Amino acid sequence: MSTDRAAPRGRERAIDLFKGLLVVGMVYCHSLQFFSDQTIYPAGERWIDLINLITFSGFVFSFGYVSQLAYYAKPFAAAAPRMLLTAGKTLLAFYVSGTAFRLFVDGRELSWDTVRPILLLRDMPGWSEFLASFAYLMIVGLILFRPLRWLAEHPWIAAAAGILLLTTTWIPYGGVHVPQLGPLLGTRDFASFPVLQYFPFYLAGMLFARHRVVWNWRVLAGAAVATAAFVWKTFAAEAPALPERFPPSIWWIVGPALILYGYYLLARLLDRFPRRVAAPLAAMGRNVLWFLVMTNVLLFALKGNQKDLLLSTTEGIWLALALLSLVGFSVWIVTKPPRESARATAATRPSA
């Protein structure tokens, strides 16, 4: 069976490739975080830091890009049910990943006392909080549907709004203790990915999609300045240290801009190659939520059963590829074209 199928009408394969690149990096990062010791394999820490810097921001950008094409280009009445459905599926993904973490990694029993706080968003299990933030992101995008659609038509005003949003990184995070507000505003009580602070990337994604941005020297210059500011902050002190990530500082938010623009251009380049060349990446991008959740569950289960497993930086790549292949096979089983089944049926049907 050929996996070289055309993308659904209205869908951009390049953004699927962009998301696929992010998925590969994220799974590799998680593999190192769970099964590598950075004191033994110090290169792993550098890979983890780099991937952490770009991944969530990259996914927020892609959410904005896809939302512009799939939702904001349509009337509110047509877009709202689909946005709510996406938010619901993403929240369900958080429930599955969060529960798996508590069961396999923390060793808790499957009980109402374990599950209930997760369902109510009072408990934010590790390596799952970002999924709750994605659900919040879609709800915010729905609530602000008309203002965001207007901003997409006025790029300079949208850019100014994005810069203004960066000031929210000075929110007094220490005063936010309601767990349900952490994914929206940020908090110091757990690892939070606050929608408000990362929202400039959502706006950027919308603008890229609406105005068909590919190569643009102004974007390159702005991204270079943003990443240069991150680098300066990292090395400004006598002892170099990354800017604060949980909750995010302004330096952490702007840091990945240049790398993500490079990812975006790379995805555009890959889209020009024969479709088979990057078919696995495109499949990951089309099914990004499934890949994120299922690789999480597999990693949590493996950690629960192999607590002493230690992998080098290179071995972590093989683990990530194995997990992605396994989840990819499950996607292939579910989504293989009906015509294949019809051919198989025809082949076994007795002739008249």
- Per-residue pLDDT tens over the stretch 74-86: 999 999 999 999 9
DSSP string for 99-163: HHIIIIIS---SSHHHHHHHHTTS---TTTHHHHHHHHHHHHHHHTHHHHHHHHT-HHHHHHHHH
pLDDT attached to residue 4:
36
Rounded CA gap, 60 and 208, in Å? 13
pLDDT attached to residue 177:
97
Rounded CA gap, 269 and 110, in Å? 46
CB distance 195 to 183 below 8 Å: yes
Rounded CA gap, 224 and 191, in Å? 28
CB distance 296 to 131 below 8 Å: no
Which regions in the chain score pLDDT beneath 70?
Answer: 1-10, 337-352
Residue 61 tokens read as: 């950008």
Round the average pLDDT of the chain to a whole number and report it: 93
Rounded CA gap, 157 and 160, in Å? 5
pLDDT attached to residue 1:
30
pLDDT attached to residue 333:
87
pLDDT attached to residue 104:
97
Residue 126 tokens read as: 């590790």
Look up residue 72 and give its DSSP letter: I
What is the percentage of the chain residues whose pLDDT exceeds 90?
A: 88
